[in-house]
């Protein structure tokens, strides 16, 4: 089959063997999305060799349970053992033996086919088109914030970053009724936010130590520094980014101000699907372009351009 193969920080369109795992579902990919993690993997932020991609919607063509055949599905990216200490104690996304779709020890979805355990799969409602279903994984990641923090309408919430993931975070946070403001540098990002009635704030207008919850979604040192300056004493910082390399942080000030710092990544798929089914969010406005699998290298070039949001591969 055709696939986007990463090796030694180089990607190419390659002919590779299709998955053959009788204990897993074989999935024909219909559509896949390029995210910032894919771009960072190409740059070498984490050592990975294999097929890239983890955001997808597809159709099951074979499975250990025949009832799944023909179903349109999305899938959680962490394939877990179910028997380690983390799994047995409800922390399966931190499974000690996990493989991660298109990221760690498991081939991804920028290909004609992929495979996943049945327990990773979720059926997509008929009313949710592929163009929205392909966003379930990052939408679930956005919702993880609300799994970690119970936001109140009185909470002053600052979101720093309005890129691919930041836009989804903003849409989901807006549903809580909290006092939300978003730092968005690009004009297009600002347009998308204001179209949904979400407040955009300039960095110069951010008052220091006044925000109950600050969410950092830029993955940059500047973004972290701004978040730290903005959060109030006994407030919460949510880090919704991975950072390449080391970063200098004044830990003493975090202790003195009693700041809660939360890392946040994968999230719940079922609530994400419900939001799409009820049209409470609309991720399709983030689509910047679409390419066929044969043009995947051009798709990556487009996705890496400043200001570009979601680039899709139609397979």
Which of these, 171, 129, 185, lies nearest to 306 by C-alpha position? 185
Domains and CATH numbers, the chain: 2-123+282-314 (3.90.180.10), 142-263 (3.40.50.720)
Spatial neighbors of 108 by CB under 8 A, at least 6 apart, are 50, 51, 52, 53, 54, 101, 102, 114
Residue 23 clears pLDDT 90, i.e. is over it: yes
| Tokens at 54, concatenated | 């983890």
- pLDDT tens profile 78-103: 999 999 999 999 999 999 999 999 99
Residue 245 clears pLDDT 80, i.e. is over it: no
pLDDT tier for residue 295 given thresholds of 50, 70 and 90: very high
Average of pLDDT values for 229-248? 90
The string of DSSP codes covering 107-126 is --SSBSEEEE-GGGEEEPPT
Residue 243 clears pLDDT 80, i.e. is over it: no
58 within 8 A of 121, measured Cβ to Cβ: no
């Amino acid at each position: 089959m055709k696939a986007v193969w990463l090796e030694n920080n180089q990607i190419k369109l390659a002919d590779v063997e299709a998955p053959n795992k009788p204990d897993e579902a074989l999935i024909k990919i219909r559509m896949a999305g390029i995210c910032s993690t894919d771009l960072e993997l190409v740059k070498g932020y984490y050592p990975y060799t294999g097929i890239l991609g983890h955001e997808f919607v597809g159709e099951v063509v074979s499975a250990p349970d025949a009832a799944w055949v023909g179903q349109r599905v999305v899938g959680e990216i962490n394939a877990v053992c179910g028997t380690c200490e983390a799994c047995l104690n409800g922390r399966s996304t931190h499974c000690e033996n996990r493989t991660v779709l298109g990221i760690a020890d498991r081939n991804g979805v920028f290909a004609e086919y992929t495979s996943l355990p049945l327990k990773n799969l979720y059926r997509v409602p008929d009313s949710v088109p592929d163009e929205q279903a392909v966003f379930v994984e990052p939408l679930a990641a956005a919702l993880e914030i609300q799994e970690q923090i119970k936001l109140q309408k009185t909470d002053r919430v600052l979101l720093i970053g309005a890129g691919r993931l930041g836009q989804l975070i903003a849409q989901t946070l807006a549903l809580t009724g909290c006092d939300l403001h978003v730092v968005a540098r690009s004009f297009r990002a600002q347009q998308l936010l204001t179209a949904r009635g979400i407040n955009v704030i300039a960095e110069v207008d951010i008052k220091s130590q006044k925000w109950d919850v600050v969410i950092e979604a830029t993955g940059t040192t500047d973004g972290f520094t701004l978040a730290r300056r903005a959060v109030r004493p006994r407030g919460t910082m949510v880090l919704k980014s991975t950072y390449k390399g080391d970063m200098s942080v004044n830990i003493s000030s975090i202790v003195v101000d009693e700041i809660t710092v939360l890392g946040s990544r994968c999230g719940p798929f079922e609530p994400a699907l419900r939001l799409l089914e009820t049209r409470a969010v609309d991720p399709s406005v983030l689509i910047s372009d679409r390419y066929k699998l044969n043009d995947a290298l051009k798709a990556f070039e487009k996705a890496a351009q400043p200001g570009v949001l979601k680039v899709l591969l139609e397979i």
